[in-house]
Structure 1
């Protein structure tokens, strides 16, 4: 298991189906107060990009910087709906998770949100955040896990909460790349720990000594036969050709006489 404090400043994005509701206050003809949960504690997510699941530990938002968090549509700052700094967005932490509440503004975006939420066309909530500390349990043969498990222990900053039509897959993918790099570095450190110091395998280990080869490098000479007594095939051939030329020369000489 790897527990680590993170100071990379990476911004992550997560999206989940949320029970977003429009509340009607006393004396109002039409409700415009939107409430829901941006995140819920101790609830495992669906597999993220197919390789890990995660949950947010109860207490992860304690000390989190939410002083200027905004509520918007599809993480578009041009479609802002409320803001903590202007006291139009309320964020509360309870036993369930991080709860939000805001009154939809009387703007084109605000009016559109009320209509789309009422119809159910928009029913998801997404948030952007930075993690300060997390805990990983990587899947292996020993624990039999199907996916790596990440527990977010502490969130350092909450940038925005957004009502979204679809999960921000591209943003989510970009935000987990540093997690893939972390896993690779962690596994590499484990392999380094398993390799004893000074016992690196010798590049020549297992190779036969020089000259000790199964291939023949010369004539097969037995120990009890001197080298000079071994017949030379090339020399024997040369002598045979010389005898033939000598016989031919004598035959010509006899005929002339």
Structure 2
């Protein structure tokens, strides 16, 4: 489960005073804030998610405009990219090179106003919100890059769904189909829900799947066997 993923934060990227250096920065990620509906589940970042990368000195982390390999803005190795975690999340500052003055101007004018980060997940967990909606918690990972972005719509959730499939012992395509139907909770089977206020900071709660009617065990492996048995019964009728 070490495929690269990308997420964006609604925190603003801004111009930062740094003498004669053109510096921009902002929060690339925010802890414990529920994401929007990612397609059948929501996501949160644990405050310890970047601990390994930070402890290793942020090795080989880059800042790139729109995650573009040809639009390098700075690196942790050279010190032109500086990263720090606090109680809010992962904050970054990058000294923009003269050749990328257009990016600095776009941020200064407000045309580029959001940030994103790319990462590889080392460990995660799945549970349910108090309203019965699946939530993936990113526990530990490796930071790849941070990026000021003007198009934050890119969301790759395939790795998250693969993680859930492996946890539930189910086929990935079955989990994907359930995600499209808004019925991922059958694969989570968490004995104790994670209580998270979906309305924190004015965030609108994602559409919650219909509550379980209590007519059967929702443990993933049992539910999977029951569905397969039903499909087999229908084919033999």
* Interval containing the TM-score (normalised by the shorter chain): 0.5 to 0.7
Which has the larger Rg?
1
Query: TM-score, structure 1 length as denominator?
Result: 0.62
Query: TM-score, structure 2 length as denominator?
Result: 0.66
- Structure 1 SS opposite 2:52: coil
Alignment RMSD (CA, Å): 3.0
Q: CA deviation at 1:24?
A: 2.2
- Equivalent of residue 118 in structure 1, options 96, 99, 108: 108
What corresponds to 2:173 in structure 1?
none
Q: CA deviation at 1:46?
A: 1.1
Q: Are the counterparts in 2 of residues 70 and 83 from structure 1 also a CA contact under 8 Å?
A: yes
What corresponds to 2:126 in structure 1?
136
**For 2:34 and 2:28, how far apart are their aligned partners in 1?**
15
**For 1:43 and 1:67, how far apart are their aligned partners in 2?**
26
Unaligned ranges ≥5, structure 1: 1-7, 204-257
What corresponds to 2:85 in structure 1?
93
- Equivalent of residue 60 in structure 2, options 59, 68, 92: 68
**For 1:81 and 1:131, how far apart are their aligned partners in 2?**
24
Unaligned ranges ≥5, structure 2: 171-186, 190-218, 233-237
Q: Are the counterparts in 1 of residues 127 and 188 from structure 2 also a CA contact under 8 Å?
A: no
Q: CA deviation at 1:138?
A: 4.2
Q: CA deviation at 1:173?
A: 4.1
Q: Are the counterparts in 2 of residues 13 and 175 from structure 1 also a CA contact under 8 Å?
A: no
What corresponds to 1:127 in structure 2?
117
1:24 aligns with 2:17: yes
Q: CA deviation at 1:182?
A: 3.6
- Structure 2 SS opposite 1:115: helix
Q: Residues 1-257 of structure 1 correspond to what in structure 2 (within 5 A)? A: 8-26=1-19, 28=20, 32-49=22-39, 51-64=40-53, 66-107=58-99, 110-138=100-128, 144-145=131-132, 147-155=133-141, 157-169=142-154, 172-179=156-163, 181-182=165-166, 185=169, 187=187, 190-192=219-221
**For 2:41 and 2:73, how far apart are their aligned partners in 1?**
32
**For 1:118 and 1:86, how far apart are their aligned partners in 2?**
24
